[in-house]
Amino acid sequence: MDREWWRGAVIYQIYPRSFQDSDGDGVGDLPGITRRLGHVADLGADAVWLSPVFRSPMKDMGYDVSDHCAIDPLFGTMADFDALVAEAHRLGLRVMIDQVLSHTSDEHPFFRESRSSRDNPRADWYVWADPHHDGTPPNNWQAIFGGPAWTWDARRRQYYFHNFLAAQPDLNFHNPEVQDWALSVLRFWLERGVDGFRFDTVNFYFHDPLLRNDAADPRSMPRPAFKPYDMQYHLFSKNRPENLAFLERVRSLMDEFGARTTVGEVGESHHPIEIMGEYTSANRLHMAYSFEMLDDRWGAAHFRRCIEHFHRLAPEGWPAWAFSNHDVPRHVTRWAAHAADHDRFARLCAMLLLSFEGSVFLFQGEELGMPQTDLAFEELTDPQGIAFWPEDKGRDGCRTPMVWEAAHPQGGFTEGTPWLPIKEPQRARAADLAADSSMGPGSVLETYRRMIALRHEEVALRAGRTAFLDLPEPVLAFRRGENLLCAFNLGPEEQVHALAGGGEILMAQDAEWLDGRLHLGPNGALIART
């Protein structure tokens, strides 16, 4: 069973720049993370996932890697990384690290070599294409951060492909040497003792070798999207069937190392659940997650559809679910229209997410009910926010530093000037306030701790299958396993429904059974053994 520790696990995402600074430069680092791992262990999480800490020019905050097997000095040294892994293991935490394999930095030695000529040893390691006769790019593919996904290189007199910034050229996974190199990177970190990988943009690895145009998005739009990328149906620039065989190679490597795991980020708006199912079936990835629960959609029907659809498509697959991460506005702010009040809603979300079938990812600060930080344009560092402001304020608002101490000038995060500002709404959610027993029971932090503990105690919450009950919006109710009932009021008004119940209430927020009827207060929640 230890080999499958990841099934039903709770994995805590750490964004290293913003977790804890140890040297006063205002940027979080590996020694800082090591210092604060006790917080994650006390929460009850099974593992941590570290966003990238590899050598990088930081044009996309570390997702533009220039050396996949080196620690960026901004975060520390390889010795610091080894110390972090050792301390995590001592505390009973597994360590998963991000792997950004679909592209590199344009400062990577491989790309510098590739762009130097059309006949060097790595000339075909990236996606190069000739221009049309009129000098225009080879097709209509768009970049996520704006503009065409092709940048002209005068040395080769060709365009190169990039799904993100021009500084993030895509690797050519049709080249077997690139695949072998990617697997060697994974082996390097596995031999160093990491317990798994989160694969960034896992469905972006392969492109259509014929470079066919992507189609227009068939969905009706009242006006153009602010991102041209979102106006296309990405049939050819990603989501290619060739990826499946490579994922099987990844799984074969992982199996050499025993109790290790993988989770793939599926960045796709058209059929993400289908891809999640496909990628976790037939000896491929262990887990996959998409943005289906990371956008503005909310409601019983939505959550039910996500879970049922996945298990219908991939009965042997395994999903991972998250409400927040480093790429989207924090969920307590994103879904605030459905909240009776902030803390009550944050507690509801904790109980809801941690009752879902699959594995669960929590984003740092989520356990404190941390809201999205409202930033001015001049405070931004994120290229996405800078490009699309004000329609999209970017990702910096969810990436501001953790606040550990309310009375500290910089929230206990740093003795210097933090790389993103710490503002009063975040300071009011400091970890020391949440953990202060004098504040009384029922804090958001306590709810996360209790719910994670319950998930560990109740096998049905980790491994039991889900059977949904037919109740009207905004109530979501389902059974896990044979005798566990989970019911949630996703709205700000009281709900009362006839529901056979009784039994032992394991955890509740403003919920009770009276005369054969289940009463759920505003954002009420109930988990009971019936």
- d(Cα 385, Cα 382) in Å, to the nearest integer? 5
- d(Cα 108, Cα 96) in Å, to the nearest integer? 23
Which residue is listed with tokens 């500002």? 421
User: Of 2, 119, 134, 256, which residue is the catalytic one?
Assistant: 256
Asked about 217 being catalytic, the answer comes back as no
Helix (H, G, I), strand (E, B) or coil at 53: coil
Kind of pairing between the strands at 10-14 and 47-50: parallel
Please enumerate in sequence order all residues whose Cβ is within 8 A of that of 154, keeping only pairs 6 or more positions apart, or say none: none
- d(Cα 486, Cα 480) in Å, to the nearest integer? 8
Asked about 248 being catalytic, the answer comes back as no
- d(Cα 262, Cα 287) in Å, to the nearest integer? 6
Residue 511 tokens, joined = 């919920």
Q: What is the DSSP string of 252-269?
A: HHHHHTSS-EEEEEE--S
Helix (H, G, I), strand (E, B) or coil at 430: coil
Q: How far is CA 502 from CA 47, 320, 499, 513, 514, in A?
A: 35, 31, 9, 7, 9
User: Of 106, 200, 278, 357, which residue is the catalytic one?
Assistant: 200
Residue 167 tokens, joined = 């500084």
Q: How far is CA 85 from CA 38, 40, 191, 454, in A?
A: 13, 14, 12, 26
- d(Cα 358, Cα 149) in Å, to the nearest integer? 35
Residue 85 tokens, joined = 């892994």
- d(Cα 344, Cα 258) in Å, to the nearest integer? 41
Kind of pairing between the strands at 150-153 and 158-161: antiparallel
Residue 168 and residue 103 in contact, taking contact as beta carbons nearer than 8 Å: yes
Residue 325 and residue 13 in contact, taking contact as beta carbons nearer than 8 Å: yes
Residues across the chain: 530
- d(Cα 352, Cα 410) in Å, to the nearest integer? 32
Beta bridge partners of 71: 54
Q: How far is CA 140 from CA 11, 74, 224, in A?
A: 38, 37, 16
- Does the N-terminal peptide bond of residue 390 adopt cis geometry, omega within 30 degrees of 0? yes
User: Contacts from 134-137 at CB under 8 Å and sequence distance 24+?
Assistant: none
Annotated active-site positions, please?
200, 256
